[in-house]
Structure 1
């Protein structure tokens, strides 16, 4: 695209308006964050281009001596650099599975890989990565069935769709092989590395090696200034390297040239677009709580997840479960409750309140009826409860009472809907195994089968999240609807009644004859989920134990079980085929070839690991989800991901899992107690590294909190600060010291604190009346 081409002028003068098609509004572009020029080194870098943008002249440099060399932009006003991080997408990990046989891993009831990775305490992230091959290295075109073999996608907030990117860097409109024939097709690009420019920006960077002496460096990103309603315009750069030297560079914009009207863009065009791209995306996540971790990739995954959500959602707001393919991008999925709850949860936890509000309003305007029912084919009972709980969290974090008042009728009727279902459960005979427990679909897909009544059952999660939803909503309901404040007492009474029945029934249904003890997905079952699924497959039938993974994840997530029962459920899941490399599995009959991870609702299981102080298992979940539920380098999160190198199917709730896990590791709130947990799942190696671990502006129901710790040889230094007037009754500060060390003394604001906890690594203090605290710990 020539630099003289002005898209906005074209659309303004276009005859499109005459035929009733409105052009999108011009896109405002923020400037990227700049550093003083002397803080961005260009020494040894190649000068690539000079251009002028908004009256400022910029010079672009790149370190072309190495594959991950940064691209630097320098002006008289300041400078910035976009670094590169690459991960191998081919078979750099021989599928040895830590010395275990894949057949044994898949057939075992125990999670053999998890057991091995947890032998020495905190799991080693590199060993976790090497526990299975990377996603996408071993897929075949035939294995994708109806899907196109895309491996990533790009887009913007303002567009209504996305653009798929294929292994060789092509899109549906542009092919780099036009200039570089060696890049034709996907079979010839198996040996490649991929990453994201600037650490997390949604610009795809590829290295494709075609021989020992030649490789291609590709960059692809969306035009953030494009106002098209649906179509995503794309920028492309391909550089051929021979013997480590750049010998040919080509640029492209969206389509092949069609001279004289559509010509090849210049280098100046490309780098000006990249400048705008960086500013645009930095601006989109500027409200996110800042986080600093020794493992920088984990921090980048948080920001990238929010960028991917904005790309996935048309206009950044309207819900979509997936992208590109009709199945998952189709409108029949749009009202899926998990899209709402995963987004609301993640955005609230990271202080992205504007996005949380936009998502909430869109859903309640378009997908919630006045009677509390939703505009979606398969409502899930537990997700109604989670929605109510998150609405309470929204008010606690944002103070935005006006928005919830606007939807007070719909919110109340959602709670009443659950009460009506509870009333039906109380009409069952007291001898019924499901007496007092809520029947209903646990999984949305139940409605698609010939007889969905098979899954209209009293699954544990239906009741557990109903309890949580009623209880959390009752705390804020008098503020939302003062004239109906009396409803809150009724919901609390129901929550207590339902919780008592749930706990009683769960205890009665634990099978202590199995080792470890086992709990089925609903009362009265005689088979384990593996037995039921195997029998159903053999008989070519369906089973009420389908989607058992959702039951366990949501039962644990709701936090309504006593500690001992929560531990029994965790052990039952992990010990009876329910996890894969530490992540909740997509339950299936035992077989010799696959043991898939569940990427999108499994975070509820992880949250209970944290709550139950099973920190090593929590860290394994975090690292395993990162490496085995995401494609390497470019982090496309799979709804379900195998462990033998297949290509996963993306869904946005899976993408928003890592932000939750990282946030909770640093700052986590008790569900019902007035307690704030800090540093609960900080890895020991992070403290040992001597690098800072910090989060700034983490929202809590007591206001924003800043928290940081840093190992300094034989000591640990840290700070805690509360921004508002409210305080929790207690702060539980965890200091997970490096392996082989112990805490000898901890001072909070200069005063000695008592060290408590099972591992003697926690201090408890009351922050009443004090805004800031210093932490000084001495190790032995």
Structure 2
């Protein structure tokens, strides 16, 4: 090993400026990691890696190097904590391919053949079978297929820097190459057989295992220095271990750049592990406000936390919006004001109690990206997203009680609502015979404005009107709290919401094509072709088509929750039955192809939410598992805006990453839009109850206050604890107990009294104090 150094020595010496550390260790004072266990981690069979002093304590670092999943353990005189590993295969070893179906048939079919097969048994989809429905994302890409993009597969970063650092398949970054010491790792084609994961379950430290022969593999760790003070440059720590026949034979460490001796040399083991300790503590502290989650599927729980960590890395200084990372698409400033980046962030952070982050994002957006007249500082405003913005502002107030922030932007909020009322006025002046009479024209998709003739997409899409209804209705309910002197405006918004909703339902019902099976609903009134037919015609004529981006229209129409259930079900059936889903996730619509059927990763959650409302729970769970396995790369969980099912490398966007947190939250705690109803456990997988492990969420925000839920089955007994901490209760509280299919609820009590049970739903009447639910089960 080259002459080593200890990182703290750098901080005192002339090399500090060279490596970009400065005095960050002293000034940043990152928090100490929470101790996962106290004096209970056994280290006598582990390999000692280093000893050092940090955070006022002496530390010993050990690692289980007998297995690839072996944890790294930090021990001090006050306790110990462990950083686990969970590598996932990033190569295709799945047989039979596509569950035995032909790829051409899957792609060409109107029906979602893979979804049909996964749901055919009538029970919850099996997560592992869902995983095996298609090869892993990011496995089978070629450099040529990426066009202008670099072939990075994941990235690391910090909260304080203004950029991120790409990590490539062999573990290199744009500034450091492990193949300098280990030439066998050169070239991405030599590292096809690899596993990837995150250290500590969800921490943004990339762990790779690269197998180069049956007897040799390399174990790599890459993470960003959380104490670095650079404005843009991301400093990175690296460790590479060569294993022969399962035993470590060579270890090398790196920091950001190749050595330039004698002034820049390879760091010591002590420096690396102190950096790792500080890194873990810093990230744990940044997510300490997240509602606590303990579910049998630990990886799914970790995906929730990792999504919030990724958002902090993507946003410069943790706040400023970026749609993507690294490449100009989508890191360019022209995307910064994208409405979906704002709404997806506020939504996810609110649902998990991350109120400070939601507030920071809200203030940044309304200060920098909303003009006084309500328009946004970005090309191509999306009509429906104005409505979603208003709805989320109302949710923010109900969850946080932060009236001051919304008062600060009251004028901009009022004008956001006015953009929709102006469009509504125009809609009401259309001729009565116009197919889109009374419905809001406008762009549904931001990209429409970039085309030669944007008027092709200036149309009365259903979602424009649906989210105008939702936005007006929700903001009207809290407007008197924000601006008491203008409370009268709320009455106009409520009236418009009722008028527009009635017109939307009437027109939509009149335009259902019952001549098709299942009945078909186009994305706007007056359309005569299905979206697949329209896209084939558009490709043939090389012209724009008004049914472009149909996926957005369906997702937002259903998300707004303004349709009666029978009509919402018709829309769902039309989407799923006419080429609109891919392994249960809303598809990125395009003309039929022999080898392409892509999932839409980032706005499709609105479709999933309606599946939940309509009690299509098995389909909701298929969406959840499929998004997890096929809209994310394995292990490091890079979420794609659009992801194919043939193993190509998707293009990352942060709204896609923030989808899983929403889906998991709603499965456990879900609020009705307009009724005084709170659902608990509505989409808990039956497999979780079968495991007999705890199912717990603590501090989940609702408009009635935080809720705690704990469920666990042991044999034929199921117990539950529910606590609402707010001053009011919903008039309708429902707890669903989705026990395994071979069991039934025999008797249920709430606080010792016989409960009202409807199927699997325990109906709880309003009452104060904690609730204790006890259920006796029977087989059969």
TM-score where L is the length of structure 2 = 0.97
- Contact 1:378–1:447 at 8 Å: present in 2 too? yes
Task: Tell me which residue corresponds to 2:286.
Answer: 284
- Cross-structure match for 1:735: 737
Q: How does 1:42-121 map to 2 (within 5 A)?
A: 42-94=43-95, 96-120=97-121, 121=123
- Which residue in the other structure is 2:772 paired with? 774
1:343-371 CA-to-partner distances (Å, cap 9, x unmatched) read: 00000000000000000000000000001
Query: How far is 1:36 from its partner?
Result: 4.8
- Give 1:10 shift: 7.1
Q: Which of 314, 318, 321 is 1:319 aligned to?
A: 321
Alpha-carbon distance change, 742 to 16 in structure 1, aligned in 2, over 3 angstroms: closer
Conservation of the 8 A alpha-carbon contact between 2:641 and 2:652 = yes
Secondary structure at the aligned position of 2:213 is classed as coil
Instruction: For residue 542 of structure 1, report the CA deviation from its aligned partner.
Output: 1.4
Work out the CA distance in 2 between the residues paired with 1:444 and 1:734: 39
In the superposition, relative to structure 1, how do residues 35 and 86 fare at CA in structure 2: closer, same or farther (>3 Å)?
Answer: closer
For residues 284-336 of structure 1, the C-alpha deviation after alignment (integer angstroms, 9 at most, x for no partner) is 10000000110000000000000000000000000000000011000000000
- Counterpart in 2 of 1:127? 129
Distance 2:301 2:444 in 1: 33
SS at match of 2:313: helix
Distance 1:41 1:751 in 2: 46
Name 1:667's counterpart in structure 2: 669
- Matched-pair contact (CA < 8 Å) for 2:242–2:250: yes
Counterpart contact for 1:370–1:413, Cα < 8 Å:
yes
Report if the CA contact (8 A) 1:338-1:653 is conserved: yes
Q: 578, 583, 594: which one pairs with 1:592?
A: 594
- Which of 233, 245, 248 does residue 247 from structure 2 map onto? 245
| Equivalent position SS for 1:306 | helix
Provide Cα deviations, 1:486-517, integer angstroms capped at 9, x if missing partner: 00011000000000000000100011111101
Q: Is the 8 A contact 1:118 1:616 kept in 2?
A: yes
Cα drift, residue 37 of structure 1: 3.9
Return the offset for 1:95. Answer: 6.2
Deviations 1:143-180 (A, max 9, x none): 00000000000000000000000000000000000000
1:460-482, Cα deviation, whole Å (9 max, x unpaired): 00000000000000010000000
Distance across 2 between alignment mates of 1:16 and 1:291: 38
**Which of residues 211, 233, 237 in structure 2 aligns to 1:209?**
211
- Show the counterpart of 1:364: 366
2:563 aligns with: 561
- CA distance change for structure 1 residues 15 and 112 in 2, over 3 Å: closer, same or farther? closer
Residue 739 (structure 1) shift:
1.3
Q: Which residue of 2 aligns with 1:472?
A: 474
The Cα of 1:72 is off from its aligned counterpart by: 0.2
Distance of aligned partners of 1:713 and 1:50 in 2 relative to their CA distance in 1, 3 Å threshold: same
Deviation at 1:6, TM superposition (A): 6.0
Q: Which residue of 2 aligns with 1:446?
A: 448
Q: Does 1:398 align with 2:400?
A: yes
In structure 2, list runs of 5 or more residues that go unmatched.
Answer: none
Q: Secondary structure at the match of 2:39?
A: helix
TM-aligned CA deviation for residue 137 of structure 1: 1.1
Residue 181, structure 1, aligned to residue 179, structure 2: no
**Of 308-317 and 710-719, the range deviating more from structure 2:** 710-719
Deviation string 1:99-132 (CA, Å, 9 cap, x unpaired) is 1000000000000000000012100000000000
**Closer/same/farther in 2, CA of residues 420 and 262 from structure 1, 3 Å limit:** same
Q: Secondary structure at the match of 2:209?
A: strand
TM-score under structure 1 length normalisation: 0.97
Which runs of structure 2 are paired with 1:162-201 in the superposition (5 Å)? 162-201=164-203
Work out the CA distance in 2 between the residues paired with 1:182 and 1:128: 35
| Aligned ranges 1:283-682 → 2 under 5 Å | 283-682=285-684
- Runs of 5+ in structure 1 lacking a partner? none
Q: Secondary structure at the match of 1:694?
A: strand
- Given the superposition, is the C-alpha separation of residues 530 and 13 from structure 1 closer, same or farther in structure 2, using an over 3 Å criterion? closer
User: Take 1:210 and 1:752, find their aligned partners in 2: how far apart are those partners?
Assistant: 62
User: For the structure 1 residues 226 and 15, does the alpha-carbon distance in structure 2 shift closer, same or farther, using more than 3 Å as the test?
Assistant: closer
CA distance in 2, matches of 1:534, 1:169: 41
How far did 1:93 drift?
1.7
Shift of 1:627: 0.1
Q: CA RMSD in A?
A: 1.8
Secondary structure of the residue aligned to 2:678 is strand
Deviation at 1:581, TM superposition (A): 0.1
- Alpha-carbon shift at residue 764 of structure 1 (Å): 1.1
Equivalent residue number for residue 694 of structure 2:
692
Residues 438, 462 of structure 1: 8 Å contact kept = yes
Cα contact 2:36–2:82 (8 A) shared by 1: no
8 Å CA contact retained: 2:8, 2:271: no
3-state SS of the aligned residue for 1:506? helix
Shift of the 362–6 alpha-carbon distance from structure 1 to 2, 3 Å rule, reads farther
Quote the offset at 1:611 in angstroms. Answer: 0.3
Give 1:24 deviation, angstroms. 12
- In the other structure, the counterpart of 2:763 is 764
| Aligned length, in residue pairs | 773
Judge conservation of contact 1:35–1:79 (CA < 8 Å) in 2.
yes
Query: 2:374·2:415 contact (CA, 8 Å) conserved in 1?
Result: yes
Indicate the SS of the match to 1:237.
strand
Distance 1:72 1:407 in 2: 48
Distance 1:515 1:4, change over 3 A: closer
Cα separation, partners in 2 of 1:404 and 1:9, compared to 1, 3 Å: farther
Q: Does the CA-based 8 Å contact 2:11-2:23 persist in structure 1?
A: no
Question: Post-superposition shift, 1:136?
Answer: 1.1
- Kindly provide the CA deviation profile for residues 178-228 of structure 1, in whole angstroms up to 9, marking residues without a partner as x: 000000010000000000000000000000000010000000000000011
Q: Alpha-carbon deviation of 1:54?
A: 2.8
Residue in 1 aligned with 2:258? Answer: 256
Q: Aligned partners of 1:516 and 1:358: how far apart in 2?
A: 45
User: SS at 1:139's partner residue?
Assistant: coil
Provide the rounded CA distance (Å) in 2 between the counterparts of 1:107 and 1:7: 60
For 2:237, the equivalent position in structure 1 comes to 235
Secondary structure of the equivalent of 1:134? coil
**Counterparts in 2 of 1:752 and 1:479: CA distance versus 1, 3 Å:** same
| Cα displacement (A) at 1:568 | 0.1
Partner of 1:2: 5
Alpha-carbon distance in 2 for matches of 1:561, 1:91: 42
Distance 1:540 1:35 in 2: 59
Shift of residue 724, structure 1, vs aligned partner: 1.9
Is the 1:24–1:229 contact (alpha carbons within 8 Å) kept by the matching residues of 2? no
| CA drift at 1:594 | 0.5
Alpha-carbon offset, residue 38 of structure 1? 2.5
Distance 2:240 2:39 in 1: 30
Shift of 1:2: 2.8
Shift of 1:4: 5.1
Residue 7 of structure 1 and its aligned partner are, at CA, apart by: 6.7
Is the 2:522–2:531 Cα contact (8 Å) retained in structure 1?
Answer: yes
Question: 1:570-606 CA distances to partner (integer Å, 9 max, x unpaired)?
Answer: 0000000000000000000111101000000000000
Preserved CA contact (<8 Å) 2:25 2:227: no
Q: Do the aligned partners of 2:7 and 2:267 also contact (CA within 8 Å) in 1?
A: no
Q: Is the 8 A contact 2:24 2:227 kept in 1?
A: no
1:24–1:228: 8 Å Cα contact kept in structure 2?
A: no
